[in-house]
Amino acid sequence: MDIYNFGKELIVEAGRFIETRMTQNFQIDSKSNPNDLVTDVDKETEQFLYARILERFPEHRIIGEEGHGENISDTDGVIWIVDPIDGTLNFVHQGENFAISIGVFIDGEPYCGLIYDCMKRDLYHAKYKSGAFLNESALHQAENVPLNQSLVAVNPKRILREATRDPFFEIMAKSRSVRSYGSAALEFAMLAKGQISALMFFKLHPWDYTGGSIITGELGYKTTDIYGKDLPLLSSTSVISGNPEIHSEIIGHFTEDKSLHEFHDAFHDL
Amino acid sequence: MDIYNFGKELIVEAGRFIETRMTQNFQIDSKSNPNDLVTDVDKETEQFLYARILERFPEHRIIGEEGHGENISDTDGVIWIVDPIDGTLNFVHQGENFAISIGVFIDGEPYCGLIYDCMKRDLYHAKYKSGAFLNESALHQAENVPLNQSLVAVNPKRILREATRDPFFEIMAKSRSVRSYGSAALEFAMLAKGQISALMFFKLHPWDYTGGSIITGELGYKTTDIYGKDLPLLSSTSVISGNPEIHSEIIGHFTEDKSLHEFHDAFHDL
């Protein structure tokens, strides 16, 4: 079995692991701040994925939200970028609306992307240059819909800083309406289904966006940072994703703002 | 059959009507602004509900989002307050995540509340002082969780005005995280399930909130305007809903702001 098919089976298996595990007691801790939660289930699921991948492919490397691969500084060979639970707050508060997200890269080039909506049992998947699918169904190519006819996803709490407010608010005001679902992976999945037309974040990590950017990339959606540059595999950055027309319209709101750029680069340690 | 049981059967029947009707072509128009959409399906579903209610209860009166009952100026007798599709933008863009919302009042007092998530086929329902249910299951009473441990729903685009920004942003910043789903009725449903702890809107209409406020009221959640006053049945207003602790915490952010109150009262023509 190749990496893609192995990954598809693995992510569904990990989803079943979460579904079973969440019915038992689990501990909730906080990480960087009191609202950045991590549970035993996040850690155990990452360990589950880690063990299965290395059992099958001992030479592969893995970067995970819960600590694996922190020492990786180059993109040679096969790298799995894994978020065991994207949307941990939803997992804790809602018991649904979270996903496992996986992006696989070979020598720094995208190979495949996988997002599994555990509670809906929906698998979004794409192998580079081979189309994108929801379960067995091919997803449609992106349509060029402008901002003023679009639903746009954003995390409203994360853009309230003085330095970031203005461009984000201008874009939100021009949009048809704003949504916030609390899982970047599921927002990429909604983009892939055409349910929203763009998403924008001031800060995401590679495990939040690599699965989604590969899947939506197959459908013609464009994903970059606020400058329009390709996203890194080994560090956090801002993320703008959407159909080519809305992507360019959104990026246009950021390009002129030099003080934002200084803040952005310092914030992301670029 | 009493009004409550009739209403429960009717709202599910109307949900089936929408599910069938949405597979055919329908026209989309705008109302007060280009983003305030209405479709043939909204209008036909309101007409469907209107005809069924009056066929059974000719003496009842009906207020609907799509124009019924605009001449009603008192709350005597039985009044049905109906939103045929709450979340029309989701209906149009997503094909899911919308609901039918119904609140029934007798001589101005709540009688029953009904919210039907059409695509999930989930019925939230409550008869005044008789508990609240999701389908056949009793829903749990509200737990007092403070803002800093809570998910809070808000419509981010609608609070960007200078006059409203500050208190809403302060509350958002203090919350654990912010969500926006694009349907007040479904946000009340998520409150009833404990998936979010509060919702706040600068402007809703009675058809947006009466079903939800009756259902969540049965579970101990409190719903008022930003001053902490009971909501009107015949005019729009601001809406804050949550468990008693978070409700009081949120209202506290609004009480001191006199310029906001002047803006609020002029905005709602109070």
The CATH number of residue A41's host domain is 3.30.540.10
What pLDDT is recorded for position A35? 83
Is the pLDDT assigned to residue B257 strictly greater than 80?
no
How large is the average pLDDT for residues B214-236?
96
The Cα–Cα gap between B92 and B101 comes to: 17
The partner residue sitting opposite B160, judged by closest CB among A35, A169, A182, is: A169
Is the pLDDT assigned to residue A257 strictly greater than 80?
no
The Cα–Cα gap between B257 and B247 comes to: 17
Same domain flag for A110 and A45: yes
The partner residue sitting opposite B173, judged by closest CB among A151, A160, A196, is: A160
Same domain flag for A120 and A209: no
Domain boundary among A138, A157, A191: A138
Residues of chain A found within 8 Å of residue B175, distances taken between Cβ atoms: 157
Same domain flag for B180 and B260: yes
How large is the average pLDDT for residues B84-110?
97
Kindly identify which residue of chain B lies nearest to residue A190, measuring between CA atoms: B94
- DSSP code at position A139: P
Residues of chain B found within 8 Å of residue A94, distances taken between Cβ atoms: 151, 190, 195-196
The Cα–Cα gap between B38 and A202 comes to: 33
Residues of chain A found within 8 Å of residue B95, distances taken between Cβ atoms: 195
Cβ within 8 Å, pair B160-A179: no
| Average per-residue pLDDT for chain A | 94
> Binning pLDDT at 50, 70 and 90, where does residue B25 land?
confident
Same domain flag for B167 and B237: yes
Is the pLDDT assigned to residue B208 strictly greater than 90?
yes
Among the ranges given (A7-21, A103-117, A150-164, B184-198), the one the predictor scored with the smallest mean pLDDT = A150-164
What pLDDT is recorded for position A259? 80
**Nearest CA-CA partner of A160 in B150, B255, B171:** B171
Domain boundary among B138, B168, B201: B138
Give long-range contacts, CB 8 A cutoff, 24+ apart: B126-131: B126/B214, B126/B215, B126/B217, B126/B218, B127/B4, B128/B214, B128/B218, B129/B218, B130/B218, B131/B218
Same domain flag for A93 and A34: yes
Domain that holds residue A57: 3-138
Q: Where are the beta strands (DSSP E) in chain A?
A: 28-30, 37-39, 61-64, 78-86, 99-106, 109-117, 122-127, 132-134, 137-138, 151-154, 177-179, 198-204, 222-224, 237-242
Structure-model confidence comparison of residues A37 and B106, the more confident one: B106
What pLDDT is recorded for position B245? 96
The number of distinct structural domains making up chain A is 2
Collapsed DSSP state (helix, strand, coil) of residue A124: strand
Please work out, in degrees rounded to the nearest 5, the angle formed at the alpha carbon of residue A214 by the alpha carbons of A213 and A218.
Answer: 110
By percentage, how much of chain A surpasses pLDDT 70?
A: 100
Kindly identify which residue of chain B lies nearest to residue A90, measuring between CA atoms: B195
- CA-based nearest distance A195→chain B, Å: 4
Same domain flag for B97 and B195: no
By percentage, how much of chain A surpasses pLDDT 90?
A: 81
| Number of separate helices (H) and strands (E) present in chain B | 8, 14
- Which of B89, B152, B159, B178 should be substituted to probe chain A, the one whose Cβ sees the most A Cβ atoms within 10 Å? B178
Domain boundary among B138, B173, B206: B138
Kindly identify which residue of chain A lies nearest to residue B174, measuring between CA atoms: A157
Distances (CA, A) of A83 to A166, A170, A212, B27: 31, 31, 11, 41
- CA-based nearest distance A96→chain B, Å: 9
Same domain flag for B164 and B184: yes
Structure-model confidence comparison of residues A76 and A25, the more confident one: A76
C-alpha count within 13 angstroms, C-beta hemisphere, residue B50: 16
CB B35 within 8 A of CB B90: no
Same domain flag for A120 and A54: yes
Is the pLDDT assigned to residue A212 strictly greater than 90?
yes
Place of tokens 């803002």: B147
How large is the average pLDDT for residues B96-116?
98
Is the pLDDT assigned to residue A131 strictly greater than 90?
yes
What pLDDT is recorded for position A266? 86
Q: How many residues does chain A have?
A: 270
**Nearest CA-CA partner of B112 in B85, B80, B141, B84:** B80
Q: Whole-angstrom distance between the N-terminal and C-terminal Cα of chain A? A: 39
| Average per-residue pLDDT for chain B | 94
Q: What is the interface size between A and B, counted as CB pairs within 8 Å?
A: 77
Cβ within 8 Å, pair B173-A195: no
- CA-based nearest distance A32→chain B, Å: 13
What pLDDT is recorded for position B198? 98
Same domain flag for A202 and A231: yes
Same domain flag for A129 and A14: yes
Same domain flag for B134 and B8: yes
> Binning pLDDT at 50, 70 and 90, where does residue A55 land?
very high
Q: Could you tell me whether strands A122-127 and A177-179 are parallel, antiparallel, or unpaired per DSSP bridges? A: unpaired
List of residues 6+ apart from B191 with CB closer than 8 A: B153, B197, B198, B199, B212, B216, B221, B241, B242
Same domain flag for B7 and B134: yes
The CATH number of residue A236's host domain is 3.40.190.80
| Number of separate helices (H) and strands (E) present in chain A | 8, 14
For residue B55, count CB atoms less than 10 angstroms from its CB and return exposed for 0-12, middle for 13-18, buried for 19 or more.
Answer: exposed
What pLDDT is recorded for position B116? 98
Cβ within 8 Å, pair B151-A180: no
C-alpha count within 13 angstroms, C-beta hemisphere, residue A186: 23
What pLDDT is recorded for position A43? 93
> Binning pLDDT at 50, 70 and 90, where does residue A227 land?
very high
